[in-house]
Chains A and B, each alone.
Chain A
Amino acid sequence: MGLEVLLKGNNFIRLLLGLSVALKISLVSVVISIVLGVVLGILMALKNPVITVVSRVYLEIVRIMPQMVLLFIVYFGSTKALLINLSAEAASIIVFSFWGTAEMADLVRGALGSIPVIQYESSMSLGLDKFQTYRYVIVPQIIRRMIPLSINLITRMIKTTSLVMMIGIVEVLKVGQQIIEANRKSSPNAAFGIFLVIFLMYFLACWPISMLSRYLEKKWEN
């Protein structure tokens, strides 16, 4: 099956390092997306007409444009058009955060809008002030509504980092290809084994996150 290639030299370590590059890009982007997304989502919920139009256009662009095209625009385009020399990693973090912020903001906006007005009113009529109302009544409900959806977004972002090899980043998939190429003569079947291992690695990275989400959903269901 070609798994023996893994044991040659430090091939397995190289794959793990590749995975860590992918995870690092997604982790940084996820953190940026959550912070900016929460801010933008709150702004969107204010229903200011200008913010609404701008954010709609932004959201549509992110949804329509394939992530790969965005990567190419930022990485190759910025050098020529703006004369900035972005590293491939910086370019991919920008693209992933650009995408994640849009989706996250939409989740926050949706969750905020889904809390009935009566929840604010009944809290305040019990004597809770504005801060206490958010702290004990509104925010806990928003978090419960958002966790499953945002975890889904996070796993999608991790998976999609496999695209960054297209702008020359040596992440796990690229390392896999390199290993397969280097061992073409000695182990012609290596492709299956290596890609299988990469599949398992992605699975092990995303599965615990999905499990956590399912656990929280269950816990909050009753």
Chain B
Amino acid sequence: MEEILTVKNISKRYEDITVFQDLNLSVKKGEVVVIVGPSGCGKSTFLRCLNALEDIQDGEILLDGEVVNSGNKDLSKIREKIGMVFQSYDLFPHLTVLQNLMLAPTKVKKRDKKEVQKEALELLERVGLLSKKDNYPRQLSGGQKQRVAIVRALIMHPEILLLDEITAALDPEMVKEVLDVVLSLAKEGRTMLIVTHEMQFARAVSDRMIFIDGGKIVEEGAPKEFFENPKTERLKKFLQTFTYGD
């Protein structure tokens, strides 16, 4: 299948700290790749590099054959193709839900307002938030906000969705409603790269699992193998931290 995202030997360093070194990754169209790893292993930073929110010191990131780089003049054009959802606080507080959704398609893509609104309402209906269209973000629960943030990324018709620990700041009872949306996106064949700490969800949603530790890809593989027969000691240890008893 066609490769959408190719990451070649990228490294990220701050002055004297190396966050990660020589990371390689490729994501095919329709594939869902989940990255897990201990806090501070560089997985979020890695995701942010893919969108040029952080610059890289070595290597190359290609999206659809185009270079993603903070120096690229067409960066905003490339970013349109990459949907990103963050941990929290990323909705625009001065705009209603509907305005949040319509801003980028109408201002960036210059699409017709009516057409965008129609699509926005359909998407809201799909995530069960049609009744909230005229509410402001502060009137929504954390889970509702994250569902809106997902829709806001979707409505730009991205080639790939990057989800950066989108349930990490949520109350436990709201995690499921958000993850259900992501699962349904996976089912319809969206290409996604997901960083998460929800192991059950990771297993259910992923086509391929990646374990990053100490700035390196330590292990990767199909979810069943990954969770049931981890090959490396480090992954075994990591997975054990999510189980209790025995």
Interface residues, chain A, with chain B CB atoms under 8 Å away: 116, 118-119, 121-129, 132, 136-137, 140-141, 144, 220, 222
Contacts and interface: CB of A to CB of B under 8 A. Distances in A.
- Best-surrounded residue of A118, A126, A141 (most CB of chain B within 10 A): A126
B76 A144 contact: no
Given A132-B108, A222-B136, A125 B93 contact: no
Contacts of A140: 94
27 contacts: A119-B92, A121-B86, A122-B84, A122-B86, A122-B90, A122-B91, A122-B92, A123-B92, A124-B53, A124-B76, A125-B51, A125-B53, A125-B82, A125-B84, A126-B79, A126-B104, A127-B76, A127-B80, A127-B104, A127-B109, A128-B104, A128-B107, A132-B107, A132-B108, A141-B94, A222-B136, A222-B139
A140 B83 CA distance: 24
B103 interface: yes
Interface in B82-105: 82-84, 86, 88-94, 103-104
Interface string B42-73: 00000000010100000000000000000000
Contacts of B12: none
Contacts, number: 63
Interface string B137-178: 001000000000100110010000000000000000000000
A49 to B, nearest CB: 19
Contacts of A141: 92-94
A220 B53 contact: no
A84 B107 CA distance: 53
B111 interface: no
- Best-surrounded residue of B94, B136, B152 (most CB of chain A within 10 A): B94
B187 interface: no
B236 interface: no
Given A141-B94, A220-B94, A126 B86 contact: no
B25 to A, nearest CB: 19
A123 B86 CA distance: 11
Contacts of B94: 140-141, 144, 220
Contacts of A136: 103, 107
Given A116-B89, A127-B76, A127-B80, A121 B108 contact: no
A119 B103 CA distance: 14
B90 A119 contact: yes
A66 B139 CA distance: 44
Contacts of B126: none
Contacts of B92: 119, 122-123, 137, 141
Given A141-B93, A144-B94, 17 more contacts: A118-B88, A118-B90, A119-B89, A122-B92, A123-B92, A125-B79, A125-B82, A125-B83, A126-B80, A126-B104, A126-B108, A127-B77, A128-B104, A128-B108, A132-B107, A137-B103, A141-B94
